[in-house]
């Protein structure tokens, strides 16, 4: 009986190994190359919709430090490490950033801050409904794990995201 | 012809094992060398600043905790320094979010904000510019050289409440 099972078991093991290799490839692509993400929320209007867009983010630029001002990036939220937020970089380390402390009051009380070494300043495009560096300060560069470069859904919004 | 086949099969094997090794090291377990003396005597107990690190401790790092980001007081962690993204630091967690930390050398009392923790080295009062740091990629450590789990310890002489 075991003699009949042996080739079956071997075949099953082979298939499992191939499947395991496929999962590893998936993990590597998702983590190091590019991955699709669903984003929702009002903080990046009008660039991104309220109800949810599917975007493509690449992980190569952030690993090599090739991000620049104006890029839309995926950042681990400093207040909750399990949450990922999408914001735009407005200042790299050493830059001077001027921001409105409270845009709803209408009196332009700007404050200037110099971004410390190893940090970036991120802000949502919709300054009235976005929790960003104006609330929790500059964010360490290591929390950035991807740069958004293309939108896949909705179909009428398909295409590259501009700066 | 024979050498071409050999090279292609060798590179295929290399690629496959590299992929698997990278995945396992990212998700489950990995080995990290510890440099510097900030964690003496727990790691690198015979360290002195003039010697090169030929007797550095290597530690086993487990990454299961990254699924839920659950850390406890006294855990030793590996993380990227907030001031320099490429530099990895090894320290112990001495306060979690919501705790107040006061240092015996200054009059400040700091409340640890959500999503952050206070880390300190075992050796001196060096806690990364003495301020709380963000949860930049965290990993938790097991020592490789010692049998048994690294004990969780809270340093005395600090008011942590």
Domains along the sequence of chain B with CATH: 7-48+55-137 (2.10.109.10)
Q: How close is the nearest chain A Cα to the Cα of B115, in Å?
A: 4
From the list A6, A21, A43, A147, the catalytic residue is: A43
B85 vs A108: CA distance, rounded Å? 35
In this complex, do A25 and B80 lie within 8 Å of one another by their Cβ atoms?
no
In this complex, do B137 and A24 lie within 8 Å of one another by their Cβ atoms?
no
B73 vs B150: CA distance, rounded Å? 13
- Name the residue in chain B with its Cα closest to that of A144: B136
- This model of the complex carries an ipTM of 0.72
Please tell me the predicted confidence (pLDDT) of residue A16.
Answer: 93
Please tell me the predicted confidence (pLDDT) of residue A15.
Answer: 93
Taking 50 as the pLDDT cut, the residues of chain A under it are none
Can you list the alpha helix ranges (DSSP code H) found in chain A? 2-28, 60-63, 133-136
Q: How close is the nearest chain B Cα to the Cα of A159, in Å?
A: 31
Respond yes or no: is residue A43 known to be catalytic.
yes
Chain A CB within 8 Å of residue B25 CB: no
**Nearest partner of A144 among A79, A80, A70, A89, judged by Cα:** A89
* pLDDT, tens only, B76-126: 777 777 777 777 777 777 777 788 877 655 667 777 777 777 777 776 655
* pLDDT, tens only, B50-60: 555 445 666 77
Chain A CB within 8 Å of residue B7 CB: no
Beta strands in A18-140 (DSSP E): 34-39, 53-58, 72-76, 84-91, 96-100, 110-114, 119-123, 139-140
Please tell me the predicted confidence (pLDDT) of residue A102.
Answer: 67
């Amino acid at each position: 009986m075991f003699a009949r099972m042996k080739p079956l078991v071997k075949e099953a093991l082979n298939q499992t190994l191939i499947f395991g290799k496929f999962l590893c490839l998936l993990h590597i692509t998702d983590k190091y190359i590019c991955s699709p993400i669903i984003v929702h929320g009002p903080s990046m209007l009008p660039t991104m919709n309220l109800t949810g867009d599917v975007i493509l983010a690449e992980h190569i630029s952030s690993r090599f430090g090739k991000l620049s001002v104006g890029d839309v990036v995926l950042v681990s939220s400093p207040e909750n490490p399990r949450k990922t937020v999408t914001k735009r970089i407005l200042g790299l380390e050493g830059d001077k950033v001027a921001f409105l402390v409270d845009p709803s009051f209408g009196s332009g009380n700007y404050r200037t801050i110099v971004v410390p070494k190893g940090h970036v300043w991120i802000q949502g495009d919709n300054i009235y409904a976005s929790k960003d560096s104006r609330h929790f300060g500059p964010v360490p560069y290591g929390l950035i794990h991807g740069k958004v470069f293309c939108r896949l859904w909705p179909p009428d919004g398909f295409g590259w995201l501009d700066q | 012809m024979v050498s071409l086949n050999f090279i292609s099969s060798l590179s295929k094997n290399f690629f496959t094992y590299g992929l698997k090794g990278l995945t396992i090291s990212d998700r489950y377990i990995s080995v990290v060398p510890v440099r510097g003396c900030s964690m003496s005597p727990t790691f690198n107990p015979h360290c002195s600043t003039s010697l090169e690190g030929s007797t550095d401790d290597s530690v086993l790092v487990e990454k299961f905790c990254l699924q839920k980001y659950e850390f406890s007081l006294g855990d030793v962690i590996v993380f990227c320094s907030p001031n320099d993204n490429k530099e990895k630091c090894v320290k112990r967690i001495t306060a979690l979010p919501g705790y107040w930390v006061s240092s015996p050398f200054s009059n400040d009392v700091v409340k640890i904000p959500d999503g952050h923790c206070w880390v300190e080295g075992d050796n001196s009062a060096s806690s990364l510019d003495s301020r709380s740091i963000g949860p930049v990629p965290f990993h938790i450590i097991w020592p490789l050289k010692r049998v048994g789990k690294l004990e969780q310890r809270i340093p005395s002489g600090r008011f942590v409440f």
